[in-house]
Structure formats: structure tokens, C-alpha cells
């Protein structure tokens, strides 16, 4: 019965056949010695060894973190920046399911998958950063809720949002498994999970910014403002969409054979549509940055070295990519959209790292500089996420059309 | 005691009002310029018979 173990073929529940199917699907496909594999495998292996060392000998064994600088690049990049990059999922689902912008329908699944994996791996990397990682469950089980902490909100939001994104993506899993009844049930939950997910996203994107409100004395005045939560939320919109453009362009090339006819036909129009939204949001964000700067009465600090660095971030990586998005939309230039999205992503990395690492304890005599091992582990987490993304995309109907028995998406 | 001047644009936060007013005015032009490109596309597509 070889046909019964094909992915996407409708079948009745049978445990033996299910196990056979999963084992078959788990096996690697295609060429193994690709350039990406050759680079990523050593990075993942070294990262795995470092993670073992971290858990055996403690967090100080591989990081430059200390009592005065307990948050480093694992929080600043993996969590704070990674979550902003994952913002594309809530923006695109909002566009498609709430605003009815059906032209973006073909990218919903890949965007939700991207967001789900980003939360799973980047927020999962929190485990590495916690001194006592087994206590991560406390805010959930009530051993010590810690309701007065912003982290309580962030912890619950991460957990619930990951569940919402999993439900949003589960129709693709049901189609892959060939279970029409499950497909029908989870398909009916989509709208509810989208609304729930959007609500959670708006709150925890800003909640991550709110974490830094209590560090007023530690963050450079050019970056500290009581409006950090608002700025985090607004910037997560264009950060997420820029990631969708950047990652979507790569996926479109790498998984060309799996992209549906609809996906091929609409690709350029989708990128230009997203660029238009990015241009508008970056215009708003730039004015807010200027307004907040003037409001905080710190303009005199622009004449310092930190001021120059601040202007590099705001002019070079907000105003310039915003203008490039604008030009690209006016000219219908898809290549320029990709350049602008890359610059916008660099801008988001700079902004999040400035607040959480670079301009954090800016006055310290011995500022925190991440060890090579911290950077290596971060690179390993990114590589594992890409492996997981590739595994899912090459098996489930994410970029490709759903099976014929599945209802219209 | 610091002297308060009603004519100081920074002390009265007048500069913030000006930025907000400038933002609203520019935003109108900005969105019109962005939309113009989309309308031009539709017009040229219409001439070529590509509008669905």
C-alpha cells in the first residue's frame, strides 16, 4: 500500500500507518552536501557542544555576562530582535483575515510558519539565558506567578501566542497528514486564533519594550524614553514585513519548484504591496522618533559620539530604507524593495541592540562585549531554525497548493 | 527660581506642536504620492487590457 503513505492523501486513522508515514517523512530529502549544509552543520555541532558546557558548568562558563550585566546578546538579539522580526505573522494575518486583503493570502502560511519557528527557537533560547532554567515554568504553574513583573505578561503572551500560531498553521499539518476531519476542525478555529494572536502580539511586542522602562538609569538618554513600548510596537510592524520580504524573496528562489502558480504570479505585486505598508509605517515611526527626541529635551546630546551613533540608526537605517521603500513603490522596482528591506532589518537589529546591549550601561568602564561562544550559539540557533523551516516547507503545503480534497484556504 | 517665558518655543512645547502639524501635512502628501504610483499602474495596466 505505497499510495497510502503519500503526504496529503486522505486516510483513516491507523497508528501503524501513521508511524510508517512519519518515519518516511522524517528522512532527509534531496542533496545532502549543499553549500548551506556544509556551513551550518559545523556551526550547529559547535553550538550543541557549547550548550552542553553552559548547562554543565553554568552560564558564566561560555558568556561574558555578569551580575551587573545579566542580559547580553542572547536576550538582545535572540529574544528582543527575533520577536520583532516575527511580527510579520500578526501583520499579514491582520491584513488577510481582518482587513480582507486577499492578495496576500498566498503568503499567510509561510509567514505564520516563520513567526511560529522564530518564537519557538528565539524565545526558546531564553532557556539558555536563565540562571535556573527549570524555573521558567513558575509564571505558568503559579509556584511564583510574579504578577507585578512585566516578564509575567511576556511569559504568558509568548506561551499563548505560540499556541495561537500553531493553531493558525495546523491546517497545513492536517493536510500533510491527510486527515480531512482534523483539517475541518482546525480550519474552523483559524479566525478565532488570528484575533487572539493579533491581540497578544500588540501587547507583547510593546511589553518587550516595557521591560526596559525600569532601566532608566542604565540606558543612554537618547534611547530611553517612556514611549519605548509604543516605538517597539510600531517598529515591529515594518520589521516583521521587512523580514517577510527578505525571507520570502529567498524562499521564492530556493523553493522555486514548490511555489504554487498563484505564488509565482503574485510575488512581485505582493512585495510592492508590503513595501508600500513599510514606507507608510516607517514614515510614522521616523516622526515619532523625532518627536520623542524633542519631547525628552535631549537634542543637545546629538553633538556627542553617542548622538552620531543615534543618527546613524535613525537616519541611515530608518529614514533611508523608508525612502527606498517609497521610491521602490513609485518606480515598481522589486529589487529596490529587497535592498530597502535588508537595510530596515539592519536598522531594527541596531535599535534593539542599542537599547538592550550597546547603549545599556553606556557609562561602564568595562562595557559588556559578547564572547565568541555567545555569538556562535546564536548562529547555531538561527541555523537550526532554518533547518526546521526547510524540513516543513519541503513536506507540507506551505508554499505549494493544498491537496485537492482540502477546502479553499 | 527659573524664569518661564511664554515666547520660548521649547519651554512651551510649541516645537512639538509644530512637528505634529508638519507630520500631519506631510503625511497627506506622502500618502497621495504613494497612491499616485498605484493609480498610474492601474491606468497603464488598463490601457494594456490587464485589469482583472
Enumerate helices (H) and strands (E) in chain A, giving the number of each.
Answer: 17, 0
Which of A283, A291, A295 lies closest to B30 in CB terms? A283
Asked if B38 lies within 8 A of A279 by C-beta distance, the reply is no
Smallest Cβ–Cβ distance between A280 and the set B20, B34, B36 belongs to B34
* Test mutation, A283, A293, A322, A325, chain B, max B CBs within 10 A: A283
Q: Which of A151, A165, A150, A226 is nearest to A196 (CA)?
A: A165
Q: Round to whole Å and give the CA distance between A348 and A397.
A: 31
Lowest mean pLDDT among A260-274, A327-341, A344-358, A379-393: A260-274
Residue A2 pLDDT level (bands cut at 50, 70, 90):
very low
What stretch of H or E contains A20? Answer: helix A15-26
User: pLDDT > 70: what percent of chain A?
Assistant: 97
A330:B16 CB<8 A: no
Return the HEC string of A252-274: HHHCHHHCCHHHHHHHHHHHHHH
Give the count of alpha carbons within 13 A of A381, CB side only.
27
Determine whether A21 is exposed, middle or buried from the number of CB atoms within 10 Å of its CB (0-12, 13-18, 19+): buried
DSSP line for B1-52:
-PPP-TT-TTTTTHHHHHHHHHHHHHHHHHHHHHHHHHHHHHHHHHHTT---
Task: List the end-to-end C-alpha distance of chain B, in Å, as a whole number.
Answer: 70
Taking the CA atoms of chain A, what radius of gyration do you get in angstroms? 22
Q: How many residues does this entry show for chain B? A: 52
- Least confident range from A49-58, A76-85, A383-392, B2-11: namely B2-11
Q: Which residues of B touch A326 (CB under 8 A)?
A: 30, 33-34
Name chain B contacts of A332, Cβ cutoff 8 Å. 37, 41
pLDDT at B52: 36
Alpha helices in A257-371 (DSSP H): 261-295, 305-311, 320-331, 334-353
Helix (H) or strand (E) holding A207: helix A190-210
Query: Which of A227, A276, A298 to mutate: most B Cβ within 10 Å?
Result: A276
Give B-chain residues touching A297 at CB under 8 angstroms.
10
- Burial of A321 from C-beta contacts in 10 A (0-12 / 13-18 / 19+): buried
- With an 8 Å Cβ cutoff, are B30 and A290 in contact? no
E strand or H helix that includes residue A208: helix A190-210
| A122-162 confidence digits (pLDDT tens) | 777 888 888 888 888 888 888 778 888 888 888 888 899 99
Please give the angle made by the CA atoms of A246, A249 and A253, to the nearest 5 degrees: 145
Report the sign of the C-alpha dihedral through residues A379, A238, A123, A367, in that order. Answer: positive
Of A287, A326, A332, the CB nearest to B23: A287
Q: Over 90: is that where the pLDDT of A20 sits? A: no
pLDDT tens digits for A279-337?
999 999 999 999 999 998 888 999 999 999 999 999 999 999 999 999 999 999 999 99
To test the contact with chain A by mutation, choose from B14, B30, B44, B48 the residue with the greatest count of A C-beta atoms within 10 A, namely B30
What local confidence, expressed as pLDDT, does residue B51 receive? 39
DSSP string, A179-197: -HHHHHHHHHTHHHHHHHH
Beta bridge partner(s), residue A360: A219
**Does B20 reach chain A within 8 Å, measured CB to CB?**
yes
- The reply to whether residue B37 touches residue A280, judged by beta carbons under 8 angstroms, is no
Q: Are A395 and A176 in contact, with CB atoms under 8 Å apart?
A: yes
Burial category of A22 from C-beta neighbours within 10 Å (exposed 0-12, middle 13-18, buried 19 and up):
exposed
The distance of Cα A262 from the centroid of its chain, to the nearest Å, equals 25
Mean pLDDT of B15-21: 90
pLDDT, tens only, A215-270: 899 999 999 999 999 999 999 999 999 999 999 999 888 888 888 777 777 889 99
With CA atoms as reference, the chain B residue closest to A298 would be B10
**β-strand partners of A219:** A360
- In chain A, residues with a C-beta closer than 8 Å to the C-beta of B13 are 295
Residue A143 has what DSSP assignment?
A: S
> Quick check: A299 contacting B, CB < 8 Å?
no
Q: What is the DSSP string of A358-379?
A: ISBTTT-SS-----HHHHHHHH
SS3 A228: helix
- Position A9 confidence tier, pLDDT thresholds 50, 70, 90: confident
Using a CB-CB cut-off of 8 Å, the residues of chain A touching B19 are 287, 290-291, 294
Which residues are CB-neighbours of A389 under 8 A, at least 6 positions away?
A: A113, A114, A117
B21, B23, B31, B35: best mutation site toward chain A, by most A Cβ within 10 Å? B23
Lowest mean pLDDT among A20-34, A64-78, A361-375, B20-34: A20-34
Residue B44 has pLDDT above 60, yes or no: no
Q: Does residue A295 belong to the interface with chain B, where contact is any CB pair within 8 Å? A: yes
Q: How far is CA A367 from the centre of its chain?
A: 28
Q: What pLDDT is stored for residue A155 in this prediction? A: 86
Option in A290, A326, A331 nearest B34 (CB): A326
Selected residues 326-365 of chain A with any CB under 8 Å from a CB in chain B: 326, 329-332
Euclidean distance between CA atoms A275 and A263, whole angstroms: 17
Mean pLDDT of chain A: 90
For chain A, give the longest Cα–Cα distance: 76
For residue A394, give the 3-state DSSP assignment. Answer: coil
Residue B50 pLDDT class (50, 70, 90 cuts): very low
Q: Angle formed by the axes of helices A228-254 and A190-210, to 10°?
A: 130
Q: Please answer yes or no on whether B33 and A330 come within 8 Å at the CB atom.
A: yes
Note whether B30 contacts A287, CB cutoff 8 Å: no
Residue of A nearest to B13 (CA): A295
C-beta separation of A151 from A194 below 8 A? no
Question: Phi and psi of A82, rounded to 5°?
Answer: -60, -40
Report the alpha-carbon distance of residue B52 to residue B49 in Å, rounded: 8
Tens digit of each residue's pLDDT (9 = 90 or more) over A185-213: 998 998 999 999 999 998 889 999 998 99
CATH architecture of the domain with range A71-362+389-393:
Up-down Bundle (1.20)
Tell me what the mean pLDDT of segment B15-44 comes to.
82
Residue of chain A whose alpha carbon sits nearest to that of B16: A291
Amino acid at each position: 500500500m505505497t499510495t497510502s503513505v503519500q503526504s496529503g492523501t486522505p486516510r483513516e486513522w491507523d497508528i501503524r500507518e501513521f508511524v510508517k508515514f512519519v518515519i518516511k517523512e522524517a528522512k532527509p530529502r534531496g542533496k545532502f552536501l549543499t553549500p548551506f549544509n556544509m556551513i551550518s552543520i559545523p556551526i550547529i555541532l559547535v553550538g550543541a557542544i557549547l550548550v552542553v558546557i553552559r548547562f554543565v558548568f553554568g552560564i558564566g562558563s561560555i558568556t561574558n555576562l555578569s551580575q551587573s550585566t545579566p542580559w547580553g546578546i542572547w536576550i538582545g538579539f535572540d529574544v528582543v530582535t527575533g520577536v520583532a522580526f516575527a511580527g510579520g505573522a500578526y501583520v499579514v494575518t491582520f491584513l488577510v483575515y481582518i482587513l480582507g486583503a486577499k492578495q496576500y493570502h498566498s503568503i499567510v502560511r509561510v509567514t505564520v510558519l516563520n513567526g511560529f519557528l522564530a518564537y519557538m527557537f528565539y524565545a526558546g533560547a531564553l532557556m539558555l539565558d536563565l540562571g535556573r532554567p527549570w524555573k521558567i515554568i513558575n509564571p505558568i504553574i503559579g509556584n511564583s506567578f510574579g504578577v507585578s513583573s512585566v516578564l509575567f505578561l511576556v511569559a504568558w503572551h509568548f506561551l499563548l501566542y505560540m499556541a495561537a500560531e500553531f493553531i493558525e498553521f495546523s491546517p497545513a499539518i492536517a493536510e500533510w497528514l491527510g486527515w480531512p476531519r482534523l483539517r475541518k476542525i482546525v480550519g474552523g478555529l483559524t479566525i478565532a486564533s488570528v484575533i487572539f494572536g493579533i491581540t497578544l502580539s500588540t501587547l507583547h511586542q510593546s511589553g518587550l519594550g516595557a521591560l526596559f522602562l525600569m532601566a532608566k538609569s542604565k540606558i543612554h538618554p537618547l534611547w530611553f524614553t517612556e514611549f519605548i513600548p509604543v516605538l517597539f510596537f510600531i517598529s515591529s510592524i515594518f520589521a516583521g514585513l521587512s523580514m517577510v520580504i527578505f525571507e520570502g524573496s529567498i524562499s521564492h528562489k530556493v523553493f522555486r519548484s514548490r511555489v504554487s502558480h498563484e505564488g509565482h504570479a503574485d510575488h512581485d505585486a505582493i512585495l510592492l504591496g508590503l513595501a508600500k505598508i513599510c514606507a507608510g509605517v516607517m514614515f510614522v515611526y521616523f516622526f515619532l522618533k523625532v518627536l520623542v527626541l524633542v519631547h525628552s529635551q535631549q537634542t543637545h546630546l546629538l553633538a556627542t559620539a553617542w548622538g552620531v551613533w543615534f543618527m546613524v540608526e535613525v537616519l541611515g537605517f530608518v529614514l533611508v530604507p523608508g525612502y527606498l521603500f517609497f521610491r521602490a513603490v513609485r518606480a515598481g522596482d522589486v529589487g529596490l524593495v529587497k535592498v530597502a528591506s535588508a537595510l530596515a532589518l539592519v536598522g531594527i537589529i541596531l535599535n534593539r541592540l542599542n537599547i538592550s546591549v550597546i547603549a545599556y550601561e553606556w557609562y561602564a568602564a568595562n562595557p559588556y562585549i559578547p564572547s565568541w561562544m555567545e555569538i556562535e550559539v546564536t548562529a547555531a540557533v538561527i541555523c537550526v531554525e532554518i533547518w526546521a523551516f526547510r524540513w516543513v516547507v519541503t513536506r507540507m503545503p506551505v508554499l505549494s497548493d493544498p491537496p485537492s480534497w482540502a477546502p479553499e484556504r | 527660581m527659573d524664569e518661564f517665558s511664554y515666547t520660548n518655543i521649547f519651554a512651551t512645547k510649541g516645537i512639538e506642536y509644530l512637528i505634529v502639524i508638519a507630520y500631519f501635512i506631510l503625511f497627506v502628501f506622502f500618502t497621495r504620492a504613494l497612491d499616485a504610483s498605484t493609480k498610474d499602474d492601474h491606468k497603464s495596466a488598463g490601457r494594456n487590457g490587464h485589469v482583472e
